[in-house]
Amino acid sequence: MRTGIGYDVHQLVSGRKLILGGVTIPFEKGLLGHSDADVLIHSVCDALLGAAALGDIGLHFPDTDLSFKDINSMILLEKTRQLIMDKGYYIVNIDATIFAQAPKISPQREKMVSNISKTLNLDLDQVNIKATTTEGLGMIGTGDGIACMSIALIEKKHHIA
């Protein structure tokens, strides 16, 4: 078994949609980034890539590549799943924590879990998403950004000879 940790943070700005876990969340600001800036999906991708010793999301989907401009991060998650599978691994589980002062994440949590589970071909109980505030502290606490930290557990597929 191997574990990987992923982390991502993006600035909240006016004029962008807020997308987390592939869900568009009604909010007055969205995350700024080259893609759709989905910090949840980006941190999950990094956790999976790290667990398989495949580098990070910037290596595979660089922000200098125009083909990834405004891309739906669920596509990046699917491509990450394929990279993991190609290296002979399967995903055991994902656990993620979103750090956001606002909006409330809990109303969208089940849909986020469903989106990630479906994309990674996992059961719902193999994906967990939590959320917390930073009690008003730092850039997240002032409403200037959202971050996410994820951990992934993967295991090598066993071939029967």
Other residues' Cβ atoms within 10 Å of the Cβ of residue 107: 11
Closest C-alpha to 150, from 7, 3, 1: 7
Annotation: binding site for a divalent metal cation: 8, 10, 42
CA 50 from chain center: how many Å? 13
Annotation: binding site: 8-10, 34-35, 42, 56-58, 61-65, 132-135
Q: Which two tokens stand for residue 32?
A: 């700024």
Closest C-alpha to 120, from 154, 68, 80: 80
